[in-house]
Amino acid sequence: MNAGRFISFLAVLGMLVFALHARAQVACPPGWIPYSATSCGRAPSAQQSPQNSGYGSPAPLESRWGAIATDGVKGVLGIAIGERSEQGAQCKALADCQAKGGSPCKLQLSYSNGCGVMLVGSRGFSTAAAGTKEEAIQKGMAICSSDGDTGCHVYYTDCSSPGRNR
């Protein structure tokens, strides 16, 4: 093989390799970008939410629990919010009450995917749970009033909203 033919052979071989490489590039659909020569992925977009980008259902929500425990004698309040189970929320609220010096602590309320409230009046306290803080407060006020208590006011309220699975 002479030098001219060898150079021509290398040139043809180079173009063939380039053409094969160019054919190996993947064509991605609109809204997708190439991640390698053979795969595509969704293009990041500030307008798409990470939970639901239009390609299937959003991740399911998981229940979250809250709880309230008290030591009625010392006035110690123990709370838990955002727990994954009712038992977990109850244990955490009791432990929180004890850690703050309560003894004996008693579970007063547990609730899921909603709000809990503790109201204090002139004769004692009451607890209630509902879907929102406002509803829980209204419910608690009704309980406090029906017990014949006066001067009822919100002492504590918080919510445990459902969360995404991780």
pLDDT tens, position by position, 40-86: 555 554 344 444 445 556 667 899 999 999 998 888 999 999 999 99
Taking 60 as the threshold, does the pLDDT of residue 10 lie above it? Answer: no
Instruction: Provide the residue range defining the domain that includes 30.
Output: 3-42
Please tell me the total count of domains within the chain. 2
Q: Which residue has the higher pLDDT, 109 or 25?
A: 109
Q: 85 and 10, same structural domain? A: no
Q: 91 and 17, same structural domain? A: no
Nearest to 65 by CA among 80, 76, 51: 80
Determine, yes or no, domain membership for 121.
yes
CB-side neighbour CA atoms (13 Å) of 139: 15
Mean of the per-residue pLDDT values for the chain?
A: 79
Determine, yes or no, domain membership for 53.
no
Determine, yes or no, domain membership for 67.
yes
